[in-house]
Amino acid sequence: MDNMEEDEDKKSKRKQLGLSCMLNTEVGAVLAVIRQPNPGMYHHHLHHHPDDNYDASVLQSLKSLRALLFNPQQEWRMTDPSVYVSPFLDVIQSDDIPATATAVALQSVLKILRLGMFDEKTPGARDVINSAVTAITGCRLEKTNPVAEDAVMMRILHVLTAIMRHRASVLLTDQSVCIVVNTCFQVVRQSANRGDLLQRTARYTMHELVQIIYSRFPDIEVKDWENSESDTEEDGYMESGYGIGSAIDIFHFLCSLMNVMDIVESDGMSYPATDENTKVFALYLINSCIELSGDSIGKHPKLLRMIQDDLFHHLIYYGVSSSPLILSMISSTVLNLYHFLRRSIRLQLEAFFSFVLLRVAFPGSPFGLQEVAVEAMINFCRQPCFITEAYVNYDCDPTFRNVFEEVCKVLCKYAFPTGALLTSIQVQAFEGLAIIFHYIADRIDKDEDDEEDKEGSKSRSCGPYPVEITEYRPFWEEQPKGEDINSWIDYVRVRKVQKRKILIAGSHYNRDDRKGLEYLKITKLISDPPNAKAYAYFFRYTPKLDKTTIGEFLGDPDVFHVQVLKEFTNTFEFTGMNLDSSLRTYLESFRLPGESQKIQRVVEAFSDRFYDQQSSDLFASKDAVMIFCYSIIMLNTDQHNPQVKKRMTEEDFIKNNRSINGGNDLPREYLCELFQSISTNALSLDDSAGPVVEMNPNRWVQLINRSKIMQPFILCDFDRSLGRDMFAAIAGPSVATVAAVFEHCDEEEVLHECIEALFSIARIAQYGLEDTLDELLCSFCKFTTLLNPYASAEETLYAFSHDMKPKMAILAVFNIANAFKDSIKGGWRTIIDCLLKLKRLKLLPQSVMETENPSSNSEQSKNPGMNTKFGNLMSMESVEEALNLGLSEFEQNMAIIQQCRIGSIFSTSLTLPEDSLLNLGRCIIFAAAGKGQKFSTPVEEEETVGFCWELISSMALANAHRLSTFWPYYHEYLLEVSQFPLFSPIPFSEKAIISLMKMCLKLLASDQMEGSEELIFKSIILMWRMEKEILDTCCEFLLHSASRMITEYPSKLHTHLGWMSVLHLLSSTGRHPETYDHGVETLLQLMSDRNNITRTNYTYCIDCAFAFVALRNSRVEKNVKIMDLLAESATLLVEWYKGGYSDPGSSIGSNGGSTLIEESSRIYNPISFFQRLGESLKKTSLARREEVRNHAVASLERSFILAEELLATPTSCINSFYNVIFAMVDDLHEKMLQYSRRENAERETRSMEGTLKIAMQVLADMYLLFLKPISESNNFRTFWLGILRRMDTCMKAELGEYGESKLPDVIPDLLRKMVMSMKEKEILKITGEDDLWETTFYQIQWIAPALTDDLFPEGINAS
């Protein structure tokens, strides 16, 4: 332990010895230089000692220091630094010491400071460090030797830097620090005419000093005196070292450098000119101050006020009138201030954009300035929150300009191409636009992802768009941002709408002031009853209002108008302004009315406001202000009205204003100054409503006063609703600009930027801006070269193959269609047009409708980086690679189309909202009908129409779960298509019915037909009604499809329309020889299985069966089978009859009503079915072929026998006889007579006679079978007479030239059988109460007299 202490002690002694040696060396060097003889001096004083020429005290101090150097007990760190520093400072301050000695002394001080011989804790450090500043900054320089002087100044700069870097620099006073900086700047100024090295060193030192001073700024505590209006520190704080006082003074000094002027001589004259180098240097230093201080500036009110007022005023003033370099530096300064102090410079930032950047960017400014202004705007847009904050703070506030919107429009204007090649500023502006698009898109996607994480499901709700004003809210009042962010965002969005409505109201107001004010009421911008303050703020802050109309309104004597005038005047802040400036500012906002009483009211309102806010006691009363305002207005008229011949002099003006200030005069100097101001610069009394183009001192004072009462700059993060609204404000020019740049530019890099911007816009537009997305797609579809109606297929294909731009466009369009198809509406039309053109150019792969993985597709649509991925899809490198691989043009084109993933648009359409799905379907259907299409050949038309229906079918199958929702609209589109003036149903209907049938089969196979069956078949029926020939041209396919439905899925068809359509197609397409067998076998298979026959399809089965049987070329054996099955089906009717009438597959609600129940009973009544069956067989009994006719009669008889239980009631039985058997007999009899009248028709006549004979036999047999229920009918007598009448008709049938009829041979036997049976069952008896016996007797006697005695032995009556 003792050894270690010994070692430390030795080290300390060696260090102290080293410092002593150093000081000894420096003292010796200074003395040597001082004693160095001057050649001139030796010439005159040969025996004079050199020390006698200099101050003895200076030399003595050096010698005294040397005597202390090697004291063994000397410990320099604990020694007062003045002991070894003061001697050198004396040398520096001495007027007699040569420059070379001063330089050596400065070097010695520099060495002492760098070696750190003392620090802030060393006794006497405060005094010595401040003394060093005083000595060095007061150093006298020789004027005779510029070289030596430059060297000394260089040393001074080094020493000053070392002082500020020294640990003891914290003990410097604010005054010392300011002196250091000022001295350094003086060197900068003096070095302007000296060597470049000195000037560079001085500037570098100045910058380094500023960095040192302001690097400790964040750690400086806020002092109480800073909140006072005094510009000096309190004494108590001066003892604690330099701090905010020096920082404020230095910053004020740097701001003042902005006003430095040089005196330029030209043509013998001198005039002041702006010192640009000094301004740039000052801005450079100011930027350093801001960068180092950061947001801590906001904690120091005095410095903050200086930035808000002095600095910004200079920045705005010189931003317009300076060089590009200065504007660039100013823009950088404002950007830094935005980062650290934007909470406190809301109005200043708006003024900078309004009066500098947006003004400079206006045409007419030097091109260099325009470039800098555009670049500055882009730099602001690059900041993470600027876009959102600018929109919220300015665009959504009715009292501010639309900064965000105007910046974007300026960028659009500059980026819009004007020639074949883009200039640098156009490319730069476009990049700025792209930055804005990407910013909004990236964050709008991030917001969605965050919302999904919170809610667990995807939600695209961004709130309503556009927002509606539902209630009155004072538009001039700001709501602070609170904890309820959603409520605040809704408030901001409504405020933006209010601002838009205010501008519309302003437009109305300029045309008709009453309509404008009424519009304010309608849009709920003004309360009911009206609020005077609302009118006042409308007049004050709405741009481009008619000033004359405002003046007339404000001067009106109506009480409400007077209230508005007062509120309007209260919007002005005249604090710190003189009367001249205040009156000018006031009268710039409207045109003073011409009527004297109106002028009085306006001037009186102004006088009250100004008097209340005047900063001095110049005016004794409000009346004094008003009288003097009148005098000023009269002076303005006198001085600037060309009709005034003799103008007022200054003395006249002074004389006119005597004793107006409460009986006293206003100061003469004040009156003279005001007279000169009005004489040289007239009051603005015109009615021009143009925008304010420059910032004058009056407006600046108004701005500062207003900033004291305005809400601070609102800091906010991005919100999806705001992002969507932001883009909606710039969507029109943005889309047009992107499209124009893509069209006119050929640079690959810019083209890729266009595509990336395109994707970003699409990512934004999917959230409620569907019209913008549609416009975007329509714009880019034309760049594919596929939609040129005047180009041939060969020209289109050549343009597409030999240019990279169409390929990029087609990739972009279809990738967007895939990713954002949920949001596309009207844009589908151009997409479908492009798709069909690709089809006609044979560029679509065969498997374009292949099924893709929906999950991967949806993931890609959500991926915000998909535009980056697109960038690798098409480039010159990929083209060269394709050429190196030996791919042909066609193969290259096909590779591009494959990347478009066209099929997934339709196969994954299940995610489409209903609106998009309807729009897409409508576009395809209309395109299939030929709307907007141009076909070169019928084959091309047929292929295109078929492809369209493939797309529709693919979409329908992908959305089978909601087919019942959207297909009714598709059906309406089909009806609309049929009304097109030049619509041709071929091949539209043909391709449509084929696709619809395929779709039906797939839906049936997947059990997805329920609920959609009638809808689909309704469209199928419409198609064959459009063109009935398609049932012949497509008969094989339709028959095959119908057959599959019947044989494979009979249990899945549940509706009347479905069965009717399928069986109608079966019967219609099966009538051809090549399809007959298939059709008949399908029908037989259907009817052979009793489970396939339902109450729903029974009627249509009968109709289909009759249609096949009625065919001329049908096979008899097939017909026989069909009729047998028909007859056997009567057993089903009996079963249904026993089980009840209602259909098992249908249900009738309790509130259905009796009408619905009766209708259901009528439809599903088995007796009605039986009559339909009988009528069908009755019709078949008239067939040309005898075998068919006879079997039809036999089948009819069979059906009646099987339906005995069904016809158990008298009514049903008699009705069936009338409708079926009687009708059959009558028709056969009539047909027989018709044949008998024809020539050479004996065979047909005899054949028909034979069938009639069988029919009469069936009539008699069925009568006897159902005699009991028939006889119980009240109409039995009439029914019996009907049978006798038909027997009589047949008995007396005449066949003309073909001879006697053979019917009389069978009729008597039939009569005998029926009468005898009736007598046996006592239905026909002589003792009956009615006259049936008598009637029958006479009828038999008439029909077959030979039977009378046999059948009626009793005679006509019992007697």
* Closest C-alpha to 969, from 956, 954, 980: 956
Size of the chain in residues: 1359
Confidence of residue 1163 (pLDDT cuts 50, 70, 90): low
Helix (H) or strand (E) holding 1249: helix 1242-1265
Beta-bridge partner residues of 273? 262
In the chain, the amino acid numbered 431 is E
Beta-bridge partner residues of 661? 664
* Closest C-alpha to 1193, from 1110, 1250, 1264: 1250
Alpha helices in 1203-1241 (DSSP H): 1210-1216, 1223-1236
Reported as a single tens digit per residue, the pLDDT across 917-976 is 999 999 999 988 888 787 778 888 888 899 999 999 988 988 998 999 999 999 999 999
Helix (H) or strand (E) holding 272: strand 269-274
Alpha helices in 929-962 (DSSP H): 938-958
Reported as a single tens digit per residue, the pLDDT across 40-68 is 444 444 444 555 555 677 778 887 877 77
Whether the CB-CB separation of 170 and 125 falls below 8 Å is answered with no
* Closest C-alpha to 807, from 902, 756, 873, 888: 873
Q: Work out the average pLDDT over 98-125.
A: 87
Please check the confidence at residue 332 and state whether its pLDDT lies above 90.
Answer: yes
Whether the CB-CB separation of 656 and 631 falls below 8 Å is answered with yes
Looking at the chain, the whole-number percentage of residues with pLDDT higher than 90 is 33
Residue 620's pLDDT is 86
What's the half-sphere exposure (Cβ side, CA atoms, 13 Å) at 511? 9
Q: How far from each other are the two terminal CA atoms of the chain, in whole angstroms? A: 172
Give the Å distances, CA to CA, from 745 to 650, 732, 739, 807, 813.
65, 20, 10, 15, 18
What is d(CA 1128, CA 1108) in angstroms, rounded to the nearest whole number?
18
Please check the confidence at residue 354 and state whether its pLDDT lies above 50.
Answer: yes
Distant-in-sequence, close-in-space partners of 1270: CB < 8 Å, separation ≥ 6: 1210, 1213, 1214, 1217, 1263, 1276, 1279
Q: What is the DSSP secondary structure assignment for residue 76, as one 8-state letter? A: G
What is d(CA 693, CA 362) in angstroms, rounded to the nearest whole number?
11
Angle, CA 614 vertex, CA 612 and CA 616 arms, to 5°: 130
Confidence of residue 237 (pLDDT cuts 50, 70, 90): very low
Confidence of residue 1192 (pLDDT cuts 50, 70, 90): very high
Give the Å distances, CA to CA, from 566 to 555, 589, 607, 1211.
11, 14, 11, 97
- 473 phi and psi angles, rounded to 5 deg: -135, 130
What is d(CA 900, CA 848) in angstroms, rounded to the nearest whole number?
10
What is d(CA 351, CA 401) in angstroms, rounded to the nearest whole number?
9
User: Which residue in 75, 221, 477, 595 is the catalytic one?
Assistant: 595
Reported as a single tens digit per residue, the pLDDT across 799-843 is 888 888 888 999 999 999 998 988 888 899 999 999 888 888 888
Whether the CB-CB separation of 161 and 205 falls below 8 Å is answered with yes
Residue 1328's pLDDT is 60
**The two structure tokens encoding residue 245:** 């006082």
Give the Å distances, CA to CA, from 590 to 630, 925, 996, 1261.
17, 60, 71, 112
Give the Å distances, CA to CA, from 651 to 661, 667, 671, 680.
18, 13, 10, 16
Whether the CB-CB separation of 1083 and 1105 falls below 8 Å is answered with yes
Whether the CB-CB separation of 515 and 490 falls below 8 Å is answered with no
What is d(CA 870, CA 620) in angstroms, rounded to the nearest whole number?
76
Whether the CB-CB separation of 92 and 134 falls below 8 Å is answered with no
Confidence of residue 266 (pLDDT cuts 50, 70, 90): very low
What is d(CA 248, CA 258) in angstroms, rounded to the nearest whole number?
16
Please check the confidence at residue 868 and state whether its pLDDT lies above 50.
Answer: no
What is d(CA 1204, CA 52) in angstroms, rounded to the nearest whole number?
162
What's the half-sphere exposure (Cβ side, CA atoms, 13 Å) at 1141? 14
What is d(CA 158, CA 150) in angstroms, rounded to the nearest whole number?
12
**The two structure tokens encoding residue 458:** 């995807």
What is d(CA 1055, CA 1146) in angstroms, rounded to the nearest whole number?
10
Whether the CB-CB separation of 116 and 167 falls below 8 Å is answered with yes
Burial class (CB in 10 A: 0-12, 13-18, 19+), 53: middle
What DSSP string describes 620-672? SSHHHHHHHHHHHHHHHHHHH-TT-SSPPPHHHHHHHTTTTBTTBPPPHHHHH
* Closest C-alpha to 928, from 943, 945, 941, 940: 945
Reported as a single tens digit per residue, the pLDDT across 970-1028 is 999 999 988 887 777 888 899 999 999 999 999 999 888 888 899 999 999 998 888 88
Q: Is 265 helix (H, G, I), strand (E, B) or coil?
A: strand
Q: Max Cα separation, the chain?
A: 205
Taking each helix axis from N to C terminus, what angle separates 579-587 and 697-707, rounded to the nearest 10 degrees?
90
**Tokens 């391709």, residue located:** 991
Give the Å distances, CA to CA, from 854 to 846, 858, 860, 920, 955.
20, 6, 10, 18, 13
What is d(CA 871, CA 861) in angstroms, rounded to the nearest whole number?
16
**Tokens 């893709």, residue located:** 852
Q: What is the DSSP secondary structure assignment for residue 274, as one 8-state letter? A: E
In the chain, the amino acid numbered 588 is E
Reported as a single tens digit per residue, the pLDDT across 548-585 is 999 999 999 999 999 999 999 999 988 888 888 888 88
- Displacement of CA 814 from its chain's centroid (Å): 19
Q: What is the DSSP secondary structure assignment for residue 354, as one 8-state letter? A: I
Q: What is the DSSP secondary structure assignment for residue 392, as one 8-state letter? A: I
Distant-in-sequence, close-in-space partners of 183: CB < 8 Å, separation ≥ 6: 136, 137, 156, 160
What is d(CA 1045, CA 1052) in angstroms, rounded to the nearest whole number?
9
**The two structure tokens encoding residue 945:** 């129409």
Residue 208's pLDDT is 92
Reported as a single tens digit per residue, the pLDDT across 384-433 is 899 999 999 999 999 899 999 999 999 999 999 887 678 889 999 999 99
Please check the confidence at residue 876 and state whether its pLDDT lies above 50.
Answer: no
Is residue 595 annotated as a catalytic residue, yes or no?
A: yes
Q: Is 258 helix (H, G, I), strand (E, B) or coil?
A: helix
Beta-bridge partner residues of 271? 264
What is d(CA 506, CA 515) in angstroms, rounded to the nearest whole number?
10
Residue 607's pLDDT is 92
Residue 577's pLDDT is 85
**The two structure tokens encoding residue 1071:** 């009538």
* Closest C-alpha to 194, from 252, 131, 259, 150: 150
* Closest C-alpha to 1312, from 1279, 1285, 1278, 1346: 1346
**Tokens 């063109």, residue located:** 1027
What pTM did the predictor assign? 0.81
Helix (H) or strand (E) holding 35: helix 2-35
E strand segments, 738-786: none
